[in-house]
């Protein structure tokens, strides 16, 4: 059997994981001394509601080594294969921990894909892995295909506020104040080209201009029609709906199921009311 696994940063809902038979290792979120498992002991909605009132800024951490050991040891005992698709190594130590535990287990049928992306980008890779597994392909074949597919994964995120970048130490308070006064909406990008690290690639005055830029990326880097375009959002849907409408007006298909909420791992960095597109570019 081939086990398809990911972490909770891929932002699947619990019913989706069950339906697609995906193993998910949860990230941890801490508010002061209180620690929760993403999407298990704290929901996406509860996280964003709490981040507004809790004096402690949340800290996220990767799945514990014990979870990897349990997954990999069980696969070895049952002679199963594992294809694990974690959050980008440019964002988290998740991938490196998986490599370390794999080496300790000493089992060569574990395939680790450094996604170099996050949230919807991970989702696209995981969905392709599930499709290939269901078609009867082995772990090595799936791994090789994902190593190529991840090169074409793109995600563009419009941040409604830079406040959270200040709180997690990635931006100075002075820059934030200037951006707030000027209604500046930064656009963050993460892909193979950025070595899996999210970087600000553009800044725009107002959400309308930022949305226009992001929709324009679909023409500059056309999507592969074999894969869906996902519109992601953090808590509030307003900006995501505006983005989805503009994408439809541009001639692309966005169904309701393709508008997906993000959780704590990404939300702790982008804050509330952010929106994004993620898709697979044409080869």
What domains are defined for the chain? 2-26+62-151 (3.40.50.10440), 152-280 (3.30.1180.10)
* Strand pairing report for 230-233 and 259-261: parallel
- According to the model, what pLDDT value does residue 133 have? 98
- According to the model, what pLDDT value does residue 271 have? 84
E strand or H helix at 202, and its extent?
A: strand 199-205
Does residue 176 register a pLDDT over 70?
A: no
pLDDT in tens, 115-141: 999 999 999 999 999 999 999 999 999
- According to the model, what pLDDT value does residue 175 have? 55
pLDDT in tens, 61-78: 999 999 999 999 999 999
Report the distance separating Cα 281 and Cα 283, nearest Å: 6
Does residue 170 register a pLDDT over 60?
A: no
3-state secondary structure of 80: coil
Sign of the C-alpha dihedral computed for residues 166, 273, 32 and 36 taken in this order: negative
- According to the model, what pLDDT value does residue 181 have? 54
On the CB side of 171, CA atoms within 13 Å amount to 20
Per-residue tokens: 135 = 């078609």
- According to the model, what pLDDT value does residue 268 have? 83
* 283 — pLDDT class (breaks 50, 70, 90): confident
């Amino acid at each position: 059997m081939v086990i398809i696994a990911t972490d909770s940063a891929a932002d699947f809902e619990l019913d989706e994981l069950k339906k697609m038979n995906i193993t998910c290792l949860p990230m941890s979120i801490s508010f002061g001394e209180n620690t929760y498992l993403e999407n298990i002991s704290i929901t996406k909605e509860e996280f964003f509601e709490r981040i507004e009132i809790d004096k402690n800024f949340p800290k996220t951490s990767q799945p514990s080594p014990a979870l990897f050991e349990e997954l990999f040891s069980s696969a070895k005992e049952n002679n199963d294969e594992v294809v694990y698709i974690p959050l980008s190594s440019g964002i988290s130590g998740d991938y490196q921990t998986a490599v370390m535990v794999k080496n300790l287990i000493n089992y060569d049928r574990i395939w680790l894909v450094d996604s170099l992306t996050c949230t919807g980008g991970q989702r696209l890779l995981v969905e392709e892995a599930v499709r290939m597994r269901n078609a009867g392909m082995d772990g090595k074949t799936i791994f090789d295909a994902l190593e190529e597919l991840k090169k074409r994964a793109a995600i563009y995120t419009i941040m409604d506020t830079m406040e959270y970048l200040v709180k997690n130490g990635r931006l100075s308070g002075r820059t934030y104040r200037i951006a707030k006064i000027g209604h500046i909406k930064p656009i963050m990008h993460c892909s193979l080209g950025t070595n899996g690290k999210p970087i600000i690639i553009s800044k725009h005055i107002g959400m309308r201009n930022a949305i226009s830029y992001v929709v324009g990326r679909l023409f500059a880097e056309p999507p592969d029609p074999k894969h869906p375009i996902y519109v992601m959002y953090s808590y509030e849907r307003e900006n995501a709906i505006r983005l989805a409408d503009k994408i439809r007006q541009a001639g692309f298909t966005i169904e309701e199921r393709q508008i997906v909420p993000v959780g704590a791992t990404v939300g702790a960095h982008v804050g509330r009311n952010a929106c994004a597109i993620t898709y697979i570019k044409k080869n």
